[in-house]
Chains A and B, each alone.
Chain A
Amino acid sequence: MADRMDELLTHLPAEPCPDDLVGRIQSRLAATRRRARWMEQGRMWSLAGAAALGTWLLIPRLGILSTAVPGFSVSGVGSWLSWVLASPADAGGALLSQVLSWGSGLAECMQFGLVLALVLMAAPALYGAARMIASTSAREGVVG
């Protein structure tokens, strides 16, 4: 009976697929793709706008930023390295105090406009990086 039942079930009458179902699915998929494309374009324009606004806000404040960022020279780095070799503890302490003073100087000169500019410029960069990581992991990942 088991074999007979298997055979019968294999030949069980099935309701045919409606003729227009494939077409309807393809139309819905096309609409989904269109919507996704529009959303992606909207997102890209928003991020481009954010980057442009950030740049516009940042340019007049570059002077402030340059005063807070320490200047480096090859000779300065060389002498600091020789100091490290001669007296590592002193060199480390001096570096730490220098970093702290840069940090406090940067915090003082940070205005709302500058922070906003940096955030607006960082958002598109972070979004781009996130997308790159997502597409890489999607390419590598498979579903069983």
Chain B
Amino acid sequence: MSAEQDGILIRQARSGNAAAFDQVVARHTPRLYQSIRRFASDRSEAEAIVQETWLRAWRALPRCDPDRPLLPWLAKIAMNVTRDLWRRRRPLDFADVGDEVEAQPAGEPGPEQALESSLTLERLARGVERLRPEYRAVIGLRYDGGLTYEEIAQALGVEVNTVRTHLHRAKMALRRWMEAEHGGSDG
């Protein structure tokens, strides 16, 4: 999936070629969905965010720079959609860098058997689900979307240092979660 091809398709779409934009949708939806699913509360919310993101992207197409990577631009729109969606339910501030980490170990003893990679990853995924939404957003954009710290900061509308802080705290919380789940033998 090259940025050059994206650029060509975006130029075509901007000149009114709807099929070119449909191709862009087909190319980027899976990755976008996976990034968003990481912090969306459920599957239907993730789908709603992705759909609305593409609708807004279509309307904002004249302002899209075809010479720059597309995913960070989409991520920025997706975060705005998410903010709008969540604002109706609960306030969300991506710049909030409060000290508390909500990911608390469930207190359940982990499986006794030796660590298998897939089990570890499954445990970690459960830990990620328990993180605060802003931490999940950073993890989704970083590891599922493959965005740089700068791109994440731009998408979330925060400083790069805030992204680093979120990621650092998320990892600390996950480390604690993994230790609690597996009696500290994972680290």
Contact = CB atoms under 8 A, between A and B. Distances in A.
A24 B73 CA distance: 21
A32 B171 contact: no
A74 interface: no
Contacts, number: 101
Nearest to A143: B63
Interface residues of B, number: 43
A25 B54 CA distance: 7
A78 interface: no
A15 interface: yes
Interface stretch (B92-100, B102-110, B121-129): B121-129
Nearest to B57: A29
B22 A26 contact: yes
Interface of B: 18, 21-22, 25-26, 29-30, 33-34, 37-38, 43, 47, 50-51, 54-55, 58, 60, 62-65, 68, 73, 76, 117-118, 120-122, 124-125, 128, 139, 142-144, 154, 171, 174-175, 187
Given A12-B121, A13-B122, A14-B38, A22 B25 contact: yes
Given A29-B25, A142-B65, A144-B154, A5 B54 contact: no
